[in-house]
Amino acid sequence: MHLSLSKVAFTFASTAILALSSSTHCAASSEESFNITPSAGKNYTLPPLPYAYNALEPVISEQIMKLHHDKHHKAYVDGLNTALTGLSNAKDADTIASLQSALHFNSGGHINHSIFWKNMRAPREDNNKSTNGLKIDKAIKEQFGSTDKLTKLMQTRVLAIQGSGWCWLVLDPATQKLDVITLPNQDTPGMVNKVPLLGIDIWEHAFYLDYLNVKADYVTNFWKVVNWDDVNQRYENAVSKSKN
C-alpha cells in the first residue's frame, strides 16, 4: 500500500507543527508565541529574550547569552524554515523523507530554547525557596519530597547525559504527575508525550565559555536563575489543559 505524497507531506509537516502548537498551548504561558504561521506563507521568527543579555550574570555571562540566543537559537529557527520550505516544494517521497531529520532537530531546538529563556530570570540566593506558596510546590513535595530534592535529582540526571541534550521537569498529562526525564540532542518533551515545564540545556554552547569543562558548576549555579513563577505557570496551564 502506497501513501500519497500529500499524505506523507501532511504527516511530516503535522509532526513539526503539532509539536510547536502543543508546546504553545500546553506548556507555554498564554502570552507566549512561537509565531506559528507557516500555513500562511510566513516564517518562524526568533523570539526576543525576555530580559537583557547580561541579566543572568554572574551565573550566565552576556557573551554566552548573545551567542546562545542570537546564533544558536537563530540557527534552529532558520533550519526549521528551510526544512519547511523544502517540504512545501518537495515533489517526491525521497525528498520529503530526507527532510524528516531537519524538521525533527530544528523544531525541537526552537521549542526547547523558546521555553528555556523564559525558564530563567535574574539570580536569587536561596532561589529554591521561591516555590513556596506556588501551586507546583505541593506537586513537587508529593513527587520528590522537596524542591531541594528535585533539583538534586535533576542535577544528577543532567550530569549523566553523555554528549548533548536536555534534562526536563515535565508533567505527564496522562497521570497529571511530575517527572524528570532526559532527552538527547534537541529532542523535546512533546515528542514523548510529556509537557515541558523546566529545561536544563547541557549542550556545551550553554556553559563552556563560562565554566569550561566543569559542567557541575554550571548546573549548581543554574538553580539561582530558575524562574519558578514561569515553571509554575506552565504547570498550572498543563494541568488545566490535561483535565479538559
Stretch that binds Fe ion, among 21-29, 34-42, 164-172, 200-208 (CB under 5 A): 200-208
Nearer of residues 137 and 230 to Fe ion, judged by Cβ = 230
Minimum distance of Fe ion from residue 32's CB (angstroms): 18
Of 23, 201, 218, 231, the one binding Fe ion by CB under 5 A: 201
The residues in 161-190 that bind Fe ion, with binding defined as CB under 5 A, are none
CA separation for the pair 9, 4 (Å, rounded): 9
**Beta partners for residue 167, in sequence order:** 182, 200
Q: Which segments within the chain are labelled E, that is strand?
A: 165-172, 177-184, 195-201
Q: Are the beta carbons of 103 and 84 closer than 8 angstroms?
A: yes
- Sequential DSSP letters for 178-240: EEEEEEETT--GGGGT-EEEEEEE-SGGGTHHHHTT-HHHHHHHHGGGB-HHHHHHHHHHHHH
Stretch that binds Fe ion, among 45-53, 128-136, 196-204, 215-223 (CB under 5 A): 196-204
CA separation for the pair 5, 95 (Å, rounded): 10
Q: Is 72 annotated as a binding residue?
A: no
Minimum distance of Fe ion from residue 113's CB (angstroms): 6
Stretch that binds Fe ion, among 89-97, 184-192, 203-211, 233-241 (CB under 5 A): 203-211
Nearer of residues 96 and 206 to Fe ion, judged by Cβ = 206
**Beta partners for residue 240, in sequence order:** none
Q: Is 201 annotated as a binding residue?
A: yes
Rule CB under 5 A: is residue 228 a binding residue for Fe ion? no
Site residues (vs Fe ion, CB under 5 A): 201, 203, 206
Query: Which residues are part of a known binding site?
Result: 68, 113, 201, 205
